[in-house]
Amino acid sequence: MMVTKFDPFAEIKRLEDRIFRAYPAPAEAQNTITSWMPTVNTREDEKAYHIEVDLPGVKKEDIHVDISDGVLTISGERKFKKETKEKDYYKVESSFGKFERSFRLPEDVNDEEIKAESKDGVLEITLPKVKKEEKKKKIEVK
């Protein structure tokens, strides 16, 4: 017998999915904070790990990078307001809210040398690797 976990909101989620497929939201509505989670690219080279986070419209002072118990956490707040005033036309668009992404750090990261830089809406975090010293030991053959 298979045991399944009861989800009291499953039917509501299915209905919501059907509605959104039938009536997709316009592109500008899809960029609201409720559906926004920054995209992340990670890569590794010989000397370091690199994390690039797309944070368009987020100011440097609204970005926080913390390390605790081997977990790197990137958090912040996006505040965006665009106002258009014309002779017979007035439009205000705003998008705001908090975000947070966390990553478990590999054991070979030198957490004393981590650097973060925000430029042109992209946060780049460089996680240098600890230099491994090659241990060589001569074993005597008996």
Query: Per residue in 113-139, pLDDT tens?
Result: 999 999 988 999 999 998 776 666 778
Counting Cβ atoms within 10 Å, is residue 95 exposed (0-12), middle (13-18) or buried (19+)?
Answer: middle
Give the model's pLDDT for residue 126.
95
**Which residues fall within 8 angstroms of residue 11, CB to CB, at 6 or more apart?**
none
In the CATH hierarchy, which fold is given to the domain comprising 38-128? Immunoglobulin-like (2.60.40)
pLDDT at 96: 74
The string of pLDDT tens digits covering residues 56-73 is: 888 899 899 999 998 999
Residues 75 and 29: their CA atoms lie apart, in Å, by 23
What integer is the mean pLDDT of 45-52? Answer: 93
- With a pLDDT cut of 90, the percent of the chain lying above it is 30
